[in-house]
Amino acid sequence: MALLEWKDVNVSFSFADGSTFYALKDMNLSVEQGELVALVGPSGCGKTTALNVLAGQVAPVSGQVRLAGESVDGMLPSIGYISQADTLLPWRTVLDNVALAMELRGVPTKERREIARDLMAKMGLSGFEHSYPRELSGGMKKRAAIARVLAVDPAILLMDEPFAPLDALTRQKLQDDILDLWEATGCTILYVTHDLTEAIALGDRVVLMGARPGRVVKEYPIDLPRPRRVMDVKFEPHFAELEKAIWQDLSSEIRRGEGQP
């Protein structure tokens, strides 16, 4: 049985003039336990909406999202969601930001500070416990936001373009960190990105979504060796073949979405 499943999921939104459109139409996708699946597709095709449905933040008009066969309704404790808009609270220290999700779950102060301190050390943030978010670089802020989610030990991570705003070197370091984390914990990751290279470098499988309506168009198994380092895997001869094949389909979806032939 699949760990995560979108079964004929339909999500509609309304325009200001009262007309409605489908952000997701018959979306079907399964993710197996322990898989790292990368979701790509043209801007606006419904990638974020697909995650929001699973996280209980958007209700489908029909269809179901399932976790281990059970219909999901509302955010589940086993799911950690690193959304695009994820930000640290500016008035809290980094340590208290990392401890936030634990605080919301009632973990006692001393215990959550200890766990937060440990996680910060693992994420290369030692020494910044008492700093405020404004004193951190973009990459450090992202690490802290990830540490906050990891603190409650989620079995499933949903990540929505987590490193898009960062510079290439920082991004690559964090991508390797995600690979390490995934290999060490055996968690299941659904990783949304508009960056095809990143999707292939990380994923066991790349899932292509198409726009208007948003749905899964095609899936590509990524049979590159593991364990992977992002920089090394990009130079595998097979990498370029995969990238070319998926890019042809992705670019045709982008053109179709723009109404071009």
| Contact pattern for Mg ion over residues 47 through 86, marking x by CB under 5 A | xx--------------------------------------
Place of tokens 């590509």: 220
DSSP state of 54: H
| Contact pattern for Mg ion over residues 20 through 49, marking x by CB under 5 A | ---------------------------xx-
Quote the least distance from Cβ 49 to ligand ADP, whole Å: 3
Residue 241's binding partner, choosing from Mg ion, ligand ADP, none, with beta-carbon cut-off 5 to 8 A by kind?
Answer: none
Paired residues of 40 in beta bridges: 208
Interface with ligand ADP by CB under 6 A: which residues? 13, 23, 41, 43-49, 214
- DSSP letters, 103-172, are HHTT--HHHHHHHHHHHHHHTT-TT-TTS-GGGS-HHHHHHHHHHHHHTT--SEEEEESTTTTS-HHHHH
Minimum CB distance to ligand ADP smaller for 28 or for 109:
28
Minimum CB distance to ligand ADP smaller for 13 or for 153:
13
Residue 136's binding partner, choosing from Mg ion, ligand ADP, none, with beta-carbon cut-off 5 to 8 A by kind?
Answer: none
Quote the least distance from Cβ 15 to ligand ADP, whole Å: 8
Residue 70, both tokens: 């059970």
Compute the distance between CA of residue 238 and CA of residue 215 in angstroms, rounded to an integer: 27
DSSP state of 177: H
